[in-house]
Amino acid sequence: MTIKIGVLGFGTVAQGLPKLLAEKGLHLEQMLGESFAISKVLVRNQEKREQLANGDWSYDFVTDIKEIIADDSIQVVIELMGRIEPAKTYISQALKAGKHVITANKDLLALYGSELSRLAEDNQVAFYYEGAVAGGIPILRTLANVLALDKVERILGILNGTSNFMLTKMIDEGWTYERALAEAQALGYAESDPTNDVEGIDAAYKASILAQFGFGMRVDFDQVSHQGIRQISPVDITLAQKLGYAIKLLADVRQLASGLSVSVAPSLIPLDYPLASVNGVMNGVFVESLALGQSMYYGPGAGQLPTALSVMADLWQVGRVILGQETVRPFNPLQAPAQLARQEDILSIYYILIEQAEVSKFNQLGLAVSQSLALEGYQAYLTPLISLVELEDRLNQVGLNPISLIKVLGE
């Protein structure tokens, strides 16, 4: 008996699912011993409904969530609407109705992931969301099934394809921030309001999910410090290259003696680090762990078919649960009390850009800089390892307000 699916939302990503099911559904059926079929699809309004019903799709398009929740023949709900509400309410209703739920909604998971996971557990149903972080890269499953048995020490991620595309073009083609943004919008990578992408908010949502999978810690979203790419100037890019670094918007989740540090910020990455060659709209997640050492997972961070593949992987596991081939288990097996690192324990090298007129002021800081470089009236320095609070404190003391202050990876 075919396993019936209700899909919430039918935008670009959701329409990838029928495509992939058409290509691989038979194969999935062979592996599982049972087939899947999309039964009902929830759309926004009557107009949308009629438009789709008159198209190529044979699904039952509905506008009322009750038609899916109350339909006992539907065992799996796949939420691909995005945003917080009404997605949160609908998912909660589906879980309470004993339906397994798959989503790729990172905003929702970052903010309400534990609440929804608990609800799934209470109702003994599966709640999987591989597509929520790094699109098609199976990073959550890898963290949950393999790295959960290791001791993860740090996760570094290039998690937002839009900003990475923009930075790549700013570096490789010398584009300005404005041009890069306009092109990203023209190509459909960035929305008309690009705030979440360029301000690091989208990456911060994903960093908070990675913190849960890598360390079991639920870090409140407002405790993830995030900074965007707006302030990166052509001078920074030129100097970074001369110093041997790429600039990337980097999520950094790191276990320190005093606790976990979770941040998203533009960062200088040495050109010979594997993450430095994650370019364009691609994503990369780099993990440092006790047993495995260094590993990296690279692939498209978004897109119709990559996300559909993640949903398919979730769907296979849900199918195994429905058919009694495996028990329901939490997607993320790790749970630990959240303990945040003290600000003064978070040490890093920093790149500081000032005007040459301020060099004497900089020298008063007494920092043993490892490199310095001049360009067109500007001066750049790489500091020794120092905490941001101490660095800012010292800068205040000498009355120096740098043009740029960017984290640098490496010893």
The reply to whether 313 sits near its own copies by the rule CB under 8 A is yes
What residues between 348 and 377 interact with its own copies by CB under 8 A? Answer: none
Among 303, 322, 365, 402, binds its own copies (CB under 8 A): 303
Among 148, 182, 400, 403, binds its own copies (CB under 8 A): 148
Nearest Cα neighbor of 344 from 391, 381, 384 is 391
**Number of C-beta neighbours around residue 309 at 10 A:** 23
Amino acid at the residue 12: T
- Residue closer to its own copies, measured from CB, 124 or 356: 124
The reply to whether 12 sits near its own copies by the rule CB under 8 A is no
- Is 88 in a helix, a strand, or coil? helix
The reply to whether 312 sits near its own copies by the rule CB under 8 A is yes
Interatomic CA distance for residues 220 and 205, integer angstroms: 10
Specify the DSSP class assigned to residue 340. B
Q: How far is the CB of 166 from its own copies (least distance, A)?
A: 18
Q: Which of the ranges 116-124, 236-244, 325-333, 373-381 carries the binding residues for its own copies, by CB under 8 A?
A: 325-333
Among 210, 240, 308, 408, binds its own copies (CB under 8 A): 308
Among 97, 305, 400, 403, binds its own copies (CB under 8 A): 305
Q: Which secondary-structure segment (H or E) carries 87?
A: helix 87-96
The reply to whether 63 sits near its own copies by the rule CB under 8 A is no
- Residue closer to its own copies, measured from CB, 204 or 321: 321
The DSSP bridge pattern shows strands 100-103 and 74-79 to be parallel
How many chain residues bind its own copies (CB under 8 A)? 53
Token pair 């058409």 is found at 22
Q: How far is the CB of 326 from its own copies (least distance, A)?
A: 4
The reply to whether 272 sits near its own copies by the rule CB under 8 A is yes
The reply to whether 396 sits near its own copies by the rule CB under 8 A is no
- Residue closer to its own copies, measured from CB, 291 or 375: 291
3-class SS string, 158-208: ECCHHHHHHHHHHHHCCCCHHHHHHHHHHCCCCCCCCHHHHCCHHHHHHHH
The reply to whether 282 sits near its own copies by the rule CB under 8 A is yes
Nearest Cα neighbor of 378 from 246, 168, 248, 238 is 238
- Residue closer to its own copies, measured from CB, 213 or 381: 213
Using an 8 Å Cβ cutoff, are 318 and 126 in contact? yes
**Which tokens sit at 338?**
């959240």
Is 206 an annotated catalytic residue? yes
Among 194, 299, 319, 402, binds its own copies (CB under 8 A): 299
Nearest Cα neighbor of 110 from 126, 128, 133 is 133
One of 40, 99, 169, 206 is an active-site residue; which one?
Answer: 206
The reply to whether 74 sits near its own copies by the rule CB under 8 A is no
What residues between 117 and 146 interact with its own copies by CB under 8 A? Answer: 130, 136-138, 141-142, 145-146
Q: What is the C-alpha R_g of the chain?
A: 23
**Number of C-beta neighbours around residue 364 at 10 A:** 12
**Number of C-beta neighbours around residue 181 at 10 A:** 24
The reply to whether 173 sits near its own copies by the rule CB under 8 A is no
Nearest Cα neighbor of 262 from 274, 273, 270, 250 is 250
Q: How far is the CB of 312 from its own copies (least distance, A)?
A: 4
- Binding-site annotation: residue ranges for L-homoserine: 191
Using an 8 Å Cβ cutoff, are 335 and 46 in contact? no
Active site residues: 206
Binding stretches for its own copies (CB under 8 A): 16, 20, 23-24, 27-28, 31, 130, 136-138, 141-142, 145-146, 148-151, 272, 274, 276-279, 282, 290-300, 303, 305-306, 308-310, 312-313, 316, 320, 324-327, 329, 333
